[in-house]
Amino acid sequence: MASALGTRGPDTEGRWMKFNSARPFAATKLGRCPINCRNSVLMFKLKVFFKDAIGGSRMRMNALVWTVAIACMTPMMAQPASAANVKVTPLGGQDGEFCRQDRALIFEDPNGTRILYDAGRTVAGADDPRLGKIDIILVSHMHGDHLGDSHNKAPNSGSCDKPDVSVSALPNSNSVDIALAKKAKIVTGSEMPPFFAAKLKANGGDPKDSILARFGGSVKLGGVTIATVPAFHSNGLDPDYIGGELGRQMKEAGIAGYVGEATGYVLKFSNGLVVYLSGDTGITAEQDKVVHGYYKAKLAVMNMGDGFSTGPNEAAYVINDLVKPNSVIPSHANEVGTVGGKVRPGSKTETFVKAVKVPVHIPLSGKTMEFNGNGKCVAGC
C-alpha cells in the first residue's frame, strides 16, 4: 500500500505502520526493534514488507533486513553470560576462607530471588551488610550452629579457628531475627513451622510467613521449587529458645523440645538447576532413591565434618555412589578447612576433596560462584 507520505505495512504485532523509504527507521516501530530476530517467520514477513517498501531492489532490501536483524540481535548478545546462572555466595567467618563454623550460603536465582540457607552463627545478625535482600530462609534443623543461637559481632570477627560469636540471638534465633528484618519467608519441614510462626507473631511479624514443606511435597516461592528430604540427625529444640519457667525446668531436666525430624532440601531453580542441601545427616537410602533417582540433583552441598554428621569418607561415598551430582560444595567442616584460600594439608576438607570423583568447589566466604542448569560451575570457582 502506497501513499504520498510513504508505504504502509504490518508491524510485528499485526498493526499497520507508515514506512518512508528515504528514512527507513523514522516514524516506525522498527526503530525500537521489537521483533524476535530468531523467528524466521517474522524475518520472512520483514523481507516481504521491505521489498514492497523500497521498490524490489534485492541488494538494498537484503542490506536493510540484515541491518535490522543485527540491531535486534545486539541487545541479546550484550546480555551477561551469568543471566541464566544460579549464584552461590558463602557467608562464613573470615573472608576468603572456609572456617570452623561456616554453614551459611546465599543462593540467588536468575530471576533475583535470594535464599539464605542455615544462617547459623557466621551471619552477623540481621544488619550484616553481606545479606542484602533476602526473600526466603531455610533451616535444616534446630541446633544452634544452624538456627543461630548466637552470631558474630561483625563479619570477620575473631579468627577462622576461634570466631567471635559472642552476640546472643536467644530466645528468637539469628534466623528469626533476619526473617523479621528482611520480611522473608521461612520454609521448613517436619514439625518446625509452628515454632517459627510463634516466634514471628510474638515479634510483630506475620505467622503465615512460616511455611511448611513436608517430605514428599514441595512449595514454589519466587520461581524456586523447594522440597524437603530426610536427614538422619537429631533435632531437639534447646529450652533456651522457649524461655520462661517452662524453659528453665526443661533445661534442668536435660530435655529438649520436639520439633520433628531434621531435614535436607532439594531446590529447583528457574534455570533448571536442581540442588541437594544435605543438612546434618548420615548415609540414607533416600540419597539414592529420592535425591538422585527422583529429583536428579546436579549440584550438592554436602556436610562432611564428622562426629555430628557424615565424615569426609562417608560424605564422599554419598556423592560418588548415591547422589551422583555433577559437582559438590562441602560444608560444615568443623575445622579450619583453608589457609590463605587454599585447602589445608591433612584436613578433613582435603580428605573429602581427594575422595570425591566430581569437581569440588570450596565455599570461600564472600566469593560468589555461578552454576549453570547442569550443575557446572562457570564462574568464580
Show the CA angle centred on residue 342, arms to residues 337 and 343, nearest 5°. 40
Q: Residue 57 has what pLDDT?
A: 52
Q: Residue 308 has what pLDDT?
A: 85
Helices (H), the chain: 40-53, 58-78, 144-147, 174-182, 193-202, 244-253, 286, 312-317, 348-355
* CATH fold label, 85-379: Metallo-beta-lactamase; Chain A (3.60.15)
Q: Is pLDDT at 301 greater than 70 in this prediction? A: yes
Element of type H or E holding 230 = strand 224-230
Q: Is pLDDT at 170 greater than 80 in this prediction? A: yes
Q: Is pLDDT at 11 greater than 70 in this prediction? A: no
Q: Is pLDDT at 43 greater than 70 in this prediction? A: no
What proportion of the chain, given as a percentage, has pLDDT over 90? 77
pLDDT, mean of residues 264-293: 98
How much helix, strand and coil, in percent to the nearest 5, is found in the chain? 30, 20, 50
What is the largest distance, in Å, between two alpha-carbon atoms of the chain?
A: 95
Mean pLDDT, the chain, integer:
85
Q: Residue 27 has what pLDDT?
A: 38
Question: What is the Cα–Cα distance from 94 to 162, expressed in whole angstroms?
Answer: 11
Question: What is the Cα–Cα distance from 116 to 273, expressed in whole angstroms?
Answer: 17
Q: Residue 362 has what pLDDT?
A: 98
Question: What is the Cα–Cα distance from 33 to 206, expressed in whole angstroms?
Answer: 45
The boundaries of every CATH 3.60.15.10 domain in the chain are: 85-379
Dig out the grid coordinates for 127 from the structure: 544488619
Q: Residue 306 has what pLDDT?
A: 86
Q: Residue 307 has what pLDDT?
A: 85
Dig out the grid coordinates for 88 from the structure: 552461590
Q: Residue 83 has what pLDDT?
A: 72
